[in-house]
Each structure stands twice: as C-alpha cells, then as structure tokens.
C-alpha cells in the first residue's frame, strides 16, 4: 500500500531564504508525482508535475526533483516571499489507477 510522508509538517522562515520541502513515498512504482499549493480553506493549485521518467521540473522560483528509486521528491523554493505562505502537498499517482495519494502537507510561513 502506497504511503506518502511530508517532512516537516510546518516551517517558518524569514523572507528571502531558499528552502526545501521533502516528500517520500513507499512504493516506487508510480506514474507521476505532483506538487500542489493550498491556501487556507481553498482548493488545490497544481505547481509542478513530474512524470516517472523525469528527474526534475522547474517553474519560476520553484524546482521539483524526483528520485524514484529512493522514493523521494523535493520542492525547492528560491528567494521565498510572504506570498509563498501556504500549505504544500505532494501526491503520487500509481501505475494502475488514476487516484492521487497525498501526503499530509507542509505548512509554510514566510515572515516579512
């Protein structure tokens, strides 16, 4: 059974810092991995999707990497801003199903 874990559960940093959010999964047989952002009480916004054959994806100040063999992904945020404050969720999709399995998220606070 696939399990997804995100560490840390919460993170508080001063504005301008570079930071890394971690995601691990127990079954390496995945179709893809997706990182989402969720603002309080809101839906999910897709940030980056990495197919199982890819190693990383970049969008602006965000870079996500995938190491399928070790069951790990990281989301790197460069030069953090207060507007980056939100909960970040990673989710994996298995090979035989369209469902996403989510971690519990990392809640990020960027202080001005």
Partner 1 sequence: ETGVTQSPTHLIKTRGQQVTLRCSSQSGHNTVSWYQQALGQGPQFIFQYYREEENGRGNFPPRFSGLQFPNYSSELNVNALELDDSALYLCASSPIGVGETQYFGPGTRLLVL
Nearer of residues 57 and 65 to partner 1, judged by Cβ: 57
- Residues near partner 1 (CB under 8 A) are 4, 31-32, 34, 36, 41-46, 49, 51, 89, 91, 93, 97-105
CB of 112: closest distance to partner 1 in angstroms?
Answer: 25
For residue 50, the minimal CB distance to partner 1 (Å) is 11
**Choice between 18 and 46, CB closer to partner 1:** 46
Cβ of residue 51: shortest distance to partner 1, in angstroms?
8
In the chain, at which residue ranges do the beta strands (DSSP E only) sit?
4-7, 10-14, 19-25, 30-38, 44-51, 56-59, 62-67, 72-77, 86-94, 100-102, 106-111
Distance from C-alpha of 93 to C-alpha of 31, rounded to nearest angstrom: 5
């Amino acid at each position: 059974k696939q399990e997804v874990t995100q560490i840390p559960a919460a993170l508080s940093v001063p504005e301008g810092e570079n930071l890394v959010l971690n995601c691990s999964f127990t079954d390496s047989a995945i179709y893809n991995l997706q990182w989402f952002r969720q603002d309080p009480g809101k839906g999910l916004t897709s940030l980056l999707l990495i197919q199982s054959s890819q190693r990383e994806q970049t969008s602006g100040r965000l870079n996500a990497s995938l190491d399928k063999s070790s069951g790990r992904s990281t989301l790197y945020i460069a030069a953090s801003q207060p507007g980056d404050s939100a909960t970040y969720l990673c989710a994996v999709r298995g090979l035989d199903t369209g469902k996403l399995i989510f971690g519990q998220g990392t809640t990020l606070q960027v202080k001005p």
